[in-house]
Structure 1
Amino acid sequence: MTDSPAYFARESGARFRPTALVGGAWSSDEQHIAPAIGLLAHAIERDRDARRGDDLRLTRLSCDILGVVAIEPVDVHVEVLRPGRTIELVEARLTAGARTIVVARAWLAQRADTAAIAGSPFPRLPEPSAMPVEDLATVWPGAFVGSLSARRQQAEPGRAVAWMSTPIPLLRDEPVSTTAAVLGLIDTTNGTSPRLPPDQVAFPNLDLTAHLFREPVAGPVGYDVSVSFGPDGAGLTQAVLHDAEGPFGTSAQTLTLRQR
């Protein structure tokens, strides 16, 4: 094993050690949950491949975030809840010690050739080069956000388009699919277009659900983001997800609002 940069390194079959690069945006001594979500997606795909190959692909990942986690080793366990020939429902749990931090459920669905009817009404994003470079560190602390490259175009508070990328692999010395790598980024949609600065209101997300109607291609991930704050402490961040070929899915996050 090398000492090359990565967000996680595998210590054993189910245990992973986070590096300092996962430092969070709300608290730099806690893990940003984005890489952990990518780790869960990778574990689900790796379990699938060990059991049956890649004849099913990940079409939805729904994560409930049960708490925060320090920058310490975590364990990931995968269970098939609904086996099947053409669809499966799989659950992965990320734990730290005796605490469960994230529960992820994924639908895996059979691959089929539907290229002749493929299409989406979601409009394409402008190319990354058409958007200004954004220094995320001026708004968000933490090593994970600091490891990202961003271009962003703000329309109004709570409404923006952006492209996000990272040169850091999810796992040290272990191949990871483009899908898992992308799912390890998209929790950042919530901080892409705040309605108010985070020093005025905290808006952590309680969950994240991504629906993928096609597999993403490698490269920057695009966000078409809308953020809504309700009148009684709840909010919602929604995004259409893009890659170089156009839209490939959506994400949604439930927010809990806390005025400073």
Structure 2
Amino acid sequence: MTDCLFHRQGTEGEWSIFTSTDGTRSNWDPQIQHGSPPLALLTKAIEELSAGTGLRVGRLTLDILGAIPVSTVRVRAWVERPGSRISLMCAEMAAERPDGSRRAVARVTAWLLATADTADITTDRYPPLVEGEATEVAHAWEGAPGYLETVSWRRQATTGTATPEVWLTPLVPLVDDEPTTALQRLAMVVDSANGIGAALDPEAFMFMNTDTVVHLHRLPEGSDFALRAKGSIGPDGIGLTSAEIFDREGFIGTCAQTLLVQRRA
């Protein structure tokens, strides 16, 4: 198994340069990246940019702008809308085309908000989840190399029509031996909601997400996260996966993904 998802290679102007490892490879196509590693790396850029501002992330939106190659990528971050109480920050990933020119392949926009003490009025819409017995088959892509090998995936042994629940833990750091924050660890797994809540057989259909939108009323803690996810498929080839997100302490937020649904030939 790979030792991390990205290796840092230095800087070039406003860009930080990284080499993508085999641990970023998608279960849909090993030539492209799974959505979680780019989301996590761009989240890291947002956190580095916002350090010392007193703001914290309330929403992350990953837009996948094209096939993200398993190769050298460049990352930059900037403040789109400055503010002392509310700020919009962006991070972008670029990769080279065969002719050497660059194209943007992913972008994360993040709303950051000023914090205040509201501990006395804290509310959660769901009770905490407790990890129980896992099924023998974790997911429909058993044996797929790449990203899925870098995450511990424990599908809960629920029955009937219960919404699927999976506990996930990253097994490797994000970048070399650099510290990985809890928010970055969540980003390393949250894009898997689509696979967890799959409403279709991946042998018969492709249902790739174009985005991942994460709302957090509380910052995550630790390394273990549960996603309770469900997919819905429309009549014209477009679908949606939505999920509730938990850490060991309880409910922390939600995520949603837009799906492109196509029959396999």
Q: Does 1:250 align with 2:250?
A: no
- Partner of 1:257: helix, strand, or coil? strand
Q: Structure 2: how far apart are the matches of 1:147 and 1:134?
A: 16
Matched with 1:148 is 151
Q: Structure 2: how far apart are the matches of 1:176 and 1:169?
A: 6
Q: Does 1:184 align with 2:183?
A: no
CA displacement, residues 59-106 of structure 1 (integer Å, 9 cap, x when unaligned): 100111111122101111111111111111011111102111111110
TM-score by length of 2: 0.90
Matched with 1:92 is 91
- Partner of 1:12: helix, strand, or coil? strand
Matched with 1:7 is 5
Matched with 2:205 is 201
CA displacement, residues 148-201 of structure 1 (integer Å, 9 cap, x when unaligned): 211113556893111111211111121221111211210011101321211111
Q: Structure 2: how far apart are the matches of 1:204 and 1:140?
A: 19
Q: Structure 2: how far apart are the matches of 1:92 and 1:226?
A: 28
- Partner of 1:128: helix, strand, or coil? coil
RMSD: 1.8
Q: Structure 2: how far apart are the matches of 1:137 and 1:9?
A: 29
Selected match of 2:109 from 99, 105, 108: 105
Matched with 2:99 is none
Q: Structure 1: how far apart are the matches of 2:31 and 2:226?
A: 28
Taking a change above 3 Å as real, the CA distance of residues 75 and 157 of structure 1, as seen in their structure-2 partners, is farther
Is the CA contact (8 Å cut-off) linking 1:22 and 1:71 kept in structure 2?
yes
**Which amino acid letter does the alignment assign opposite residue 96 of structure 1?**
A
* Identical-pair percentage: 34
Is the CA contact (8 Å cut-off) linking 1:24 and 1:31 kept in structure 2?
yes
TM-score by length of 1: 0.92
- Partner of 2:44: helix, strand, or coil? helix
Q: Structure 1: how far apart are the matches of 2:142 and 2:231?
A: 17
Give runs of aligned pairs for residues 13-24 of structure 1, distance below 5 A. 13=11, 14-24=16-26
**Which amino acid letter does the alignment assign opposite residue 132 of structure 2?**
S
Unaligned runs of 5+ in 2: 97-101
Is the CA contact (8 Å cut-off) linking 2:229 and 2:243 kept in structure 1?
yes
- Please identify which structure carries the higher helix content: 1
The number of aligned residues is 253
Q: Structure 2: how far apart are the matches of 1:156 and 1:259?
A: 26
- Partner of 1:191: helix, strand, or coil? helix
Unaligned runs of 5+ in 1: none
Matched with 1:40 is 42
Matched with 1:74 is 73
- Partner of 2:223: helix, strand, or coil? coil
Q: Structure 2: how far apart are the matches of 1:182 and 1:252?
A: 14
